[in-house]
């Protein structure tokens, strides 16, 4: 029996499906700090993901984004893509470590095409983990096979020059390459533009009310208030496989303001690529916890 439909609130801007929290890379600047999570390696079968995602009723401009960790480490990665119903648009965030030849054999490129100002497969380039030539070769292979694919790199101070050089090289090969600012701390300094003062990297935690515009789904289909809660193993607010689950678009009490994750608080582009968006809205910031 299929589960009842779940309608995404009009305000929602992102659907993040963390197929798994593991990654086969080990980047210094990774902000997916899953340390201390005892269920980091936990996976559920691909068919359960398909059942859960197929109950979502989204809009054509709001895709389901398969991500991680590294989403392709899920053993059913390709079959999840193939079994999500055609009405759902799909995006993928990957470090491109997977076998592109097998991927191109098993997945039809038309399944991952939709109208949007950015590619549906977004490959992050991490120079300390993958050779630039190999990365470009894999991008070109998938592009030639008909996939919508673009790259991005993080402008971390240690690799910034190399990223910009690789961007130039990619653009000469007609590969879309975008850059992202580095978020987090480097040499004691916090980088990134955050919407609310003292919300990130602050020693003091305060109370507040917070509501998100994202559906954050963890590896066992648990739904979280925000990235902070997922990464730190805080309690979930529901599970997408629960027949009774529905999205409650409301402000929730929180006492972690100050220790928010940069992913939730950064000022960024929305799905239309307009800059100035922040995933969460926060009000009534109060005293120390």
Q: Which residues bind ligand SF4 (CB under 6 A)?
A: 23, 25-27, 30, 32, 69-70, 95, 124, 126, 208, 210, 225-226, 228-229, 254, 256-257, 260, 264, 280, 282
CA–CA gap between residue 86 and residue 233 (Å, rounded): 33
- Smallest gap from Cβ 54 to ligand SF4, in A, equals 26
- Smallest gap from Cβ 227 to ligand SF4, in A, equals 7
SS3 148: coil
SS3 55: coil
What b/e string do you get for 240-270 counting C-beta neighbours within 10 Å, with b at 16 or more?
bbeeebebeeeeeebebbbbbbbbbbbebee
Q: From the centroid of its chain, how far is CA 102? A: 23
Which residues fall within 8 angstroms of residue 201, CB to CB, at 6 or more apart? Answer: 184, 185, 190
Q: Which is nearer to ligand SF4, 8 or 237 (CB)?
A: 237
- Smallest gap from Cβ 203 to ligand SF4, in A, equals 15
Q: Which is nearer to ligand SF4, 47 or 128 (CB)?
A: 128
The neighbour count for residue 231, using CB atoms within 10 Å, is 23
Q: Which is nearer to ligand SF4, 240 or 282 (CB)?
A: 282
List the one residue out of 100, 92, 91 whose CA is nearest residue 130. 100
- Smallest gap from Cβ 6 to ligand SF4, in A, equals 21
Q: Which is nearer to ligand SF4, 50 or 201 (CB)?
A: 201
- Smallest gap from Cβ 42 to ligand SF4, in A, equals 17
Q: Which is nearer to ligand SF4, 50 or 103 (CB)?
A: 103
Q: From the centroid of its chain, how far is CA 280? A: 15
């Amino acid at each position: 029996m299929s589960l009842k439909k779940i309608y995404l609130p009009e305000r929602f801007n992102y659907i993040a499906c963390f197929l798994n929290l593991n990654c086969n890379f080990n980047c210094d600047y990774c902000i997916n700090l899953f340390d201390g999570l005892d269920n980091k390696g936990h996976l559920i079968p691909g068919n359960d993901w398909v059942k859960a995602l197929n109950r979502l009723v989204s809009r054509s401009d709001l895709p389901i984004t398969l991500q991680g960790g590294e989403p392709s480490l899920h053993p059913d990665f390709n079959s999840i893509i193939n079994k999500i119903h055609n009405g759902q648009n799909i995006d993928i965030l990957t470090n491109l470590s997977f076998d592109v030849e097998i991927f191109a054999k098993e997945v039809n490129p038309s399944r991952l095409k939709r109208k949007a100002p950015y590619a549906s497969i977004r490959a992050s380039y991490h120079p300390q983990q993958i050779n630039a030539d190999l990365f470009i070769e894999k991008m070109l292979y998938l592009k030639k096979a008909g996939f919508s694919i673009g790259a991005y790199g993080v402008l971390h101070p240690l690799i910034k020059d190399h990223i910009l050089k690789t961007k130039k090289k990619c653009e000469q090969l007609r590969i879309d390459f975008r850059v992202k600012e580095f978020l987090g701390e480097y040499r004691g300094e916090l980088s990134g533009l955050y919407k609310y003062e003292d919300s990130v990297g602050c020693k003091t935690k305060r109370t507040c009310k917070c509501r998100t515009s994202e559906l954050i789904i963890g590896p066992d289909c648990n739904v979280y208030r925000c990235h902070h809660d997922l990464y730190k193993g805080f309690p979930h607010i529901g599970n997408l496989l629960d027949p009774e689950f529905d999205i409650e678009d409301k402000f929730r009490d929180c006492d972690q303001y100050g220790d928010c994750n940069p992913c939730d608080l950064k000022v960024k582009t929305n799905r239309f690529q307009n800059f100035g968006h922040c995933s969460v809205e926060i009000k009534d910031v109060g005293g120390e916890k």
